[in-house]
C-alpha cells in the first residue's frame, strides 16, 4: 500500500510490527476512553471556511523559544521508538532535522543521547521523568547538556504508570517472565521483515540512556519493571526547583491538563508546558487535550509557551490545536507509525503530508501565517 496519510502509516505499522510493539504504540490505558476522546473531540471541531481571501502566499513557519522552525510541529518523545525500525530514534531525528522540526528523545529510547547527537547536526530536545534515583537524573541532565540538547521536556504525569491492558495481553507488561518472552518471540518470528531489520540488524536491543543503571539487565524486558520501581509518587511542585536550578536551558513541563496546574508551572519558572493526557495512556476518563486546552491557554498563554499533544493525526488537527491556543503541536503516534511503516523516509513523508495539510487548511480558512491562527478559525 502506498501511504497517503498518517492513518495509512498506522495500517502499515500494524502489518509490519510484532503485536507487542504495535499495541504499545497504539494503545491507551484501561478501556481507552480518553484515547478515543482525544481523536473524537479534535475531529468534532468545525473550522470556518472563508472565501475570496488572498492566500497566494502561505507561511507555516513559526518561532519556539527563540528558535525558528519550519512547521509548527515537534516530534514528541516516544518510549522504545528505536524498536520500530533499525536504530529508529536516529532515523526519526534525521527526518525531523531535514524538515526543520524539533525532535525530542525519550529517556527510555534505544539510542542513547550520545548516539543521536553523533548522527545529527541540529540540537534536539530531551525528555526526562521525575524518578526516585536523583543521581541518575543529575547524570542524565549533564549528558543532555554535553550532547548539545537545548530544551528539556520534563514529564510530570506519571507518579505511577497507567494500567494498559493491551500490554498485558501481548506480553510486554510481564516482559521478563517465560510467558511474556514466549509470546513476544512468536510475534517477532511471524513478522520476518521486522525480525531481520530490527531483531537482527538493529542490535543492541538495550535502553541506551539506562545502561549505566541497569547494567547487564538493560534490555526491553526490564523496561517496565525499572520504570515502575523508579517513578516517584511523592513528588510535588517544590521538587521542580532543583530541576530549574540544574537546567539552564529551556524547560518545558509536559502533562498539564488543569489551569491551576498550568499556573503552578508558570510559577515554577518553566518556559513552556505541554497540555497533554499522555496520549490517553494514564488516567482513563480524563479530559481530552482539545477540551482542556482553551482554558489553559487563557490562564497562562501570556506567561509561558503553550504546546499540546493528543489525537493529532493530520495537518487539520494541527490547525485545530493552534486555533484552541497552542503555539505548536507535538506528534507522537504519527511519527512512530511512519517510522514503523517506512523508516526515515516514512517520517519525512508524514512531515511533508502534515505540512501540506496545514497549508490547505490555512488557505481554505483564509489565514496566511501560522502565527495568526486563533480561535476565530473555529465555527
Query: Hey, which residues are catalytic here?
Result: 278
With CA atoms as reference, report the closest residue to 181 among 221, 218, 217, 214. Answer: 221
* Residue 132 CB contacts under 8 Å (≥ 6 apart), including other chains: 229, 230, 231, 232
Residues in a beta bridge with 250? 151
SS3 of the chain: CCCCCHHHHHHHHHHHCCHHHHHHHHCCCCCCHHHHHHHHHHHCCCECCCCCCCCCCCECCEEECCEEECCCEEECCCCCHHHCCCCHHHHHHHHHHHHCCCEEECCCCCCCHHHHHHHCCCCCEEEEECECCHHHHHHHHHHHHHCCCCEEEEECCCCCCCCCHHHHHHCCCCCCCHHHHHHHHHHHHCCHHHHHHHHHCCCCCECHHHHHHHCCCCEHHHHHHHHHHHECCCCCHHHHHHHHHHCCCEEEEEEECCHHHHHHHHHCCCCEEEECCHHHCCCCCCCCHHHHHHHHHHHHCCCCEEEECCCCCCHHHHHHHHHHCCCEEEECHHHHHHHHHHHHHHHHHHHHHHHHHHHHHHHHHCCCEHHHCCHHHEC
Q: Is 366 exposed, middle or buried (0-12, 13-18, 19+ CB in 10 A)?
A: middle
Angstrom CA distances, 48 to 29, 57, 359, 364, 375, stand at: 34, 19, 15, 8, 10
Sequence-separated (6 or more) residues with CB below 8 Å from residue 32:
280, 284
Amino acid at each position: 500500500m502506498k501511504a497517503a496519510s498518517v492513518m495509512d502509516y498506522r495500517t502499515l505499522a500494524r502489518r509490519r510490527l510484532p503485536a507487542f510493539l504495535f499495541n504499545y504504540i497504539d494503545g491507551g490505558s484501561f478501556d481507552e476512553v480518553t484515547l478515543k476522546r482525544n481523536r473524537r473531540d479534535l475531529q468534532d471541531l468545525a473550522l470556518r471556511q472563508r472565501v475570496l481571501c488572498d492566500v497566494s502566499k502561505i507561511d507555516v513557519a513559526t518561532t519556539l523559544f527563540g528558535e525558528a522552525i519550519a512547521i509548527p510541529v515537534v516530534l514528541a518523545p516516544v518510549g522504545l521508538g528505536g524498536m520500530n525500525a533499525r536504530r529508529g530514534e536516529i532515523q526519526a531525528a534525521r527526518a525531523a532535522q531535514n524538515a526543520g522540526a524539533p525532535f525530542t528523545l525519550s529517556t527510555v529510547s534505544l539510542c542513547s543521547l550520545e548516539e543521536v547527537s553523533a548522527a545529527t547536526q541540529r540540537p534536539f530536545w530531551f525528555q526526562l521523568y521525575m524518578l526516585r534515583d536523583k543521581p541518575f537524573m543529575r547524570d542524565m541532565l549533564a549528558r543532555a547538556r554535553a550532547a548539545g540538547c537545548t530544551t528539556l521536556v520534563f514529564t510530570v504525569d506519571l507518579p505511577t504508570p497507567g494500567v494498559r491492558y493491551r500490554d498485558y495481553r501481548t506480553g510486554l507488561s510481564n516482559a521478563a517472565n517465560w510467558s511474556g518472552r514466549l509470546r513476544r518471540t512468536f510475534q517477532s518470528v511471524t513478522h520476518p521483515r521486522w525480525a531481520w531489520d530490527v531483531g537482527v540488524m538493529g542490535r543492541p536491543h538495550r535502553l541506551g540512556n539506562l545502561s549505566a543503571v541497569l547494567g547487564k539487565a538493560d534490555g526491553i524486558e526490564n523496561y517496565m519493571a525499572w520504570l515502575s520501581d523508579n517513578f516517584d509518587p511523592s513528588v510535588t511542585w517544590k521538587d521542580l526547583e532543583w530541576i530549574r536550578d540544574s537546567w539552564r536551558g529551556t524547560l518545558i513541563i509536559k502533562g498539564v491538563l488543569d489551569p491551576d496546574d498550568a499556573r503552578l508551572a508558570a510559577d515554577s519558572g518553566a518556559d513552556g508546558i505541554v497540555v497533554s493526557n499522555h496520549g490517553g495512556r494514564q488516567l482513563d476518563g480524563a479530559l481530552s487535550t482539545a477540551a482542556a486546552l482553551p482554558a489553559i491557554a487563557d490562564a497562562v498563554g501570556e506567561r509561558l509557551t503553550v504546546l499540546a499533544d493528543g489525537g493529532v493525526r493530520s495537518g487539520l488537527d494541527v490547525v485545530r490545536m493552534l486555533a484552541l491556543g497552542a503555539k505548536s503541536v507535538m506528534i507522537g503516534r504519527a511519527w512512530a507509525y511512519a517510522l514503523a511503516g517506512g523508516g526515515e523516509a516514512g517520517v519525512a513523508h508524514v512531515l511533508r503530508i502534515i505540512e501540506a495539510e496545514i497549508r490547505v487548511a490555512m488557505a481554505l480558512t483564509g489565514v496566511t501565517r501560522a502565527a495568526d491562527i486563533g480561535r476565530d478559525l473555529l465555527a
